[in-house]
Chain A
């Protein structure tokens, strides 16, 4: 009964004020809200506004409210009776000292609540800071992880509250807010607290949507490099080398099994974004249904589509200067089609039409559906279902080791070989890639660089790509000036 009366103001405040305001006035949209675990967890997020705690408490069901506590700075929220009542009584907050006395552990109240099975809303930045800027996460979150091994941490990225009620403003202005919830995970308590805090910050930032473009003149679209051909590991290695190299000249994003971001300050890697995309399964299923997985699995197909989608989005938002992809839906699908489905039948204009179908520049005529459905259903699928419009790369790196080398690598894995994995099949595929490269060079002015990994290291190719892109950038600038 005592607990009920203690929780009553909390329920009334949230049911009567907080949730209606968040839903109807602010228009908060939670993404992947169901990722919040049923048990105790630590919700961490970027912090720019007083609304943040209320928005994050909205992630939990109403019945869990008494067991959810936002962690509040005691010096700020304890300064007046009003703030204290609001933060501790109506919002169920836990005060912690930002500047504790010597020998006092400021995190002890937080640890106590987690040990009781309660959940916490925690802002590792420590303060609201400048609007739209995510400050470095303090090591407090790392210390919590160290003291409570196995603690589930839920990263959340809040986009929008900083525009509604930034620091220093007295009047909030309603605008939409998106809360992106990441997968709950635990961290290794043996790592240093600073290191854990950095990992948590990376996980929070990886959920952020691409930034909106600033008003005024649009930036140039990114220069794209596609690394295609044989050898998954080699391609990945080349992609990384090129991304790191290009990062010296501006933001370069490497898209593969992981997302590698490189800029003049250094490189950092975030968890695989492609693996978390929910509708990826739908694309894989579509590919399976249509029979597009004869030579590459539905999973591989959907991965290519998702990489192309992300690359397209980055291009739309102008959020990077260079985009390097491991594989390219456009080059790979058309080369495979040229090698196995239309070997010897395609002339250049036919092949170029396939490129335009894949790039979404032309709609496939109804009369050709049956032909494509029979021979290269994946091309039909991408075009007719508008799955994606894979961009044409600026530079295409073809990783083409000798066929004998690829075969010996395939045999060394011990896995059963697929029908096309023989000398003749790989030879045809190599020819398909070369023909496609030649076509892109002639018709779309793509710079094609062929690379044999048995001959030269990945660094050499990265250097060549860098030189080529800088040369192109210079000639574009000169052409602009002339115009």
Chain B
């Protein structure tokens, strides 16, 4: 019993508590329609994400990395299924999938510098070759933009989570999970800014998210081996990154004509559910590595 409540596992319980809160809110408001319609799906996805975060942090890499790779693959596949790409781009899509193990391998062996080098080489030098190979078709730039954006979101950004794997970063992933949930929930409940709706509600959501994430960062930082001030700053940064990620995903979704849920039959929802979180991953990683080691 003392082991279950010990310092080691306190952040896991905090993450579980955050997830339960999110799930209860989603359950209670699920019938309200509008912006609340997306909450149950988002909460469901986070249970899966939380399991991966805990496994990455505390289990063998042979268990956690394949799960993380599958999550990257499934989200990239869902993105490519809704993003209009030319039929001849299928080999570039295949290469994007194959980039997942290639990018995870340096993280698996703990070579952070190699990870930083492999990503731009694969993304900006290899994938475009498969897009332009043997074609003079129009629409190349549009295709390339759509494809690279997907790889950046779902391979490069999520890949940063793998760099936290192992005992040296004990608890940081759980803290990351708690901070992202704290930053996303108020914003999702308040809704996104759009023409016609009162401006103060989304703004209140953003401020509430910043306040909550900063507060929780301050409270839980010591459990992850950080100072309280560093934790608070990490919380603030994560909430800003989540806000920007939400804006970007919203804009991309609008450009992909995913405004009506009926139009994409739920496929595109993976993007709007995940992008705010994956956007925050590199920010959190670089802050922790370079400014709050």
**Would you call A209 and B265 a contact (CB within 8 A)?**
yes
**Would you call B90 and A173 a contact (CB within 8 A)?**
yes
Contacts of A24 in B (CB 8 A): 70
**Would you call B84 and A174 a contact (CB within 8 A)?**
no
Contacts of A232 in B (CB 8 A): none
Given contacts A173-B94, A176-B267, contact A313 B262 (CB under 8 A): yes
Given contacts A27-B77, A175-B93, A363-B197, contact A386 B70 (CB under 8 A): no
**Would you call A27 and B263 a contact (CB within 8 A)?**
no
Given contacts A212-B84, A363-B197, contact A316 B143 (CB under 8 A): no
Q: How far is the CA of A169 from the CA of B91 in the complex (A)?
A: 11
Q: How far is the CA of A122 from the CA of B196 in the complex (A)?
A: 50
Q: How far is the CA of A163 from the CA of B93 in the complex (A)?
A: 11
> Taking the complex as formed, is A115 at the interface, i.e. its CB lies under 8 A from any CB of chain B?
no
**Would you call A212 and B196 a contact (CB within 8 A)?**
no
How many residues in B have their beta carbons less than 8 Å from beta carbons of A? 36
Contact of A212 among B78, B82, B93 (CB under 8 A): B82
Give the one of A171, A176, A213, A387 with max B CB within 10 A: A176
Identify which of residues 216-270 in chain B touch chain A, using a CB-to-CB cut-off of 8 Å. 257, 259-260, 262-263, 265, 267
Q: How far is the CA of A218 from the CA of B256 in the complex (A)?
A: 10
Given contacts A176-B81, A316-B257, contact A360 B196 (CB under 8 A): yes
How many residues in A have their beta carbons less than 8 Å from beta carbons of B? 37
> Taking the complex as formed, is A210 at the interface, i.e. its CB lies under 8 A from any CB of chain B?
yes
**Would you call B33 and A385 a contact (CB within 8 A)?**
yes
- Closest-by-CB residue of A relative to B78 is A176
> Taking the complex as formed, is A214 at the interface, i.e. its CB lies under 8 A from any CB of chain B?
yes
**A137-174 contact mask (Cβ, 8 Å, vs B): 1 or 0:** 00000000000000000000000100100100101011
Contacts of B196 in A (CB 8 A): 356, 360-363
**Would you call A216 and B197 a contact (CB within 8 A)?**
no
**Would you call B90 and A213 a contact (CB within 8 A)?**
no
**Would you call B87 and A166 a contact (CB within 8 A)?**
yes
Identify which of residues 212-234 in chain A touch chain B, using a CB-to-CB cut-off of 8 Å. 212-216, 218
- Closest-by-CB residue of A relative to B85 is A215
Contacts of A31 in B (CB 8 A): 265
> Taking the complex as formed, is B6 at the interface, i.e. its CB lies under 8 A from any CB of chain A?
no
- Closest-by-CB residue of A relative to B259 is A316
> Taking the complex as formed, is B86 at the interface, i.e. its CB lies under 8 A from any CB of chain A?
yes
**Would you call B84 and A215 a contact (CB within 8 A)?**
yes
> Taking the complex as formed, is A131 at the interface, i.e. its CB lies under 8 A from any CB of chain B?
yes
**Would you call B265 and A213 a contact (CB within 8 A)?**
no
**B41-82 contact mask (Cβ, 8 Å, vs A): 1 or 0:** 000000000000000000000000000001001100110111
Q: How far is the CB of A89 from chain B (nearest CB, A)?
A: 30
Q: How far is the CA of A215 from the CA of B89 in the complex (A)?
A: 13
> Taking the complex as formed, is A353 at the interface, i.e. its CB lies under 8 A from any CB of chain B?
no
Contacts of A131 in B (CB 8 A): 87
Q: How far is the CA of A450 from the CA of B55 in the complex (A)?
A: 67
**Would you call B77 and A386 a contact (CB within 8 A)?**
no
> Taking the complex as formed, is B134 at the interface, i.e. its CB lies under 8 A from any CB of chain A?
no
Give the one of A27, A173, A212, A310 with max B CB within 10 A: A173
> Taking the complex as formed, is A312 at the interface, i.e. its CB lies under 8 A from any CB of chain B?
yes
**Would you call B84 and A213 a contact (CB within 8 A)?**
yes
- Closest-by-CB residue of A relative to B80 is A175
**A49-76 contact mask (Cβ, 8 Å, vs B): 1 or 0:** 0000000000000000000000000000
**Would you call B34 and A386 a contact (CB within 8 A)?**
yes
Q: How far is the CA of A312 from the CA of B259 in the complex (A)?
A: 10
**Would you call B142 and A216 a contact (CB within 8 A)?**
yes
**Would you call A363 and B198 a contact (CB within 8 A)?**
yes
Identify which of residues 177-232 in chain B touch chain A, using a CB-to-CB cut-off of 8 Å. 195-198
Contact of B263 among A160, A171, A173, A316 (CB under 8 A): A316
> Taking the complex as formed, is B290 at the interface, i.e. its CB lies under 8 A from any CB of chain A?
no
> Taking the complex as formed, is A178 at the interface, i.e. its CB lies under 8 A from any CB of chain B?
yes
**A162-202 contact mask (Cβ, 8 Å, vs B): 1 or 0:** 01001001010111101000000000000000000000000
**Would you call B139 and A174 a contact (CB within 8 A)?**
no
Contacts of B286 in A (CB 8 A): none
Contacts of B82 in A (CB 8 A): 212
Contacts of A356 in B (CB 8 A): 196
Contact of B74 among A27, A313, A362 (CB under 8 A): A27
> Taking the complex as formed, is A309 at the interface, i.e. its CB lies under 8 A from any CB of chain B?
yes
Q: Can you sample 28 A-B contacts with CB below 8 Å?
A: A27-B77, A131-B87, A171-B94, A173-B90, A173-B91, A173-B93, A174-B77, A174-B97, A175-B77, A176-B267, A209-B265, A212-B84, A212-B257, A213-B257, A214-B84, A215-B86, A215-B142, A216-B139, A312-B260, A313-B260, A316-B257, A316-B260, A316-B263, A360-B196, A361-B195, A385-B33, A386-B34, A386-B35
Q: A31-B265, A174-B73 are in contact. List 10 more A-B contacts (CB 8 A).
A: A27-B74, A27-B78, A163-B87, A163-B90, A171-B90, A212-B257, A215-B146, A218-B257, A312-B260, A313-B260
**Chain B residues engaging chain A, CB cutoff 8 angstroms:** 32-35, 70, 73-74, 77-78, 80-82, 84-87, 90-91, 93-94, 97, 139, 142-143, 146, 195-198, 257, 259-260, 262-263, 265, 267
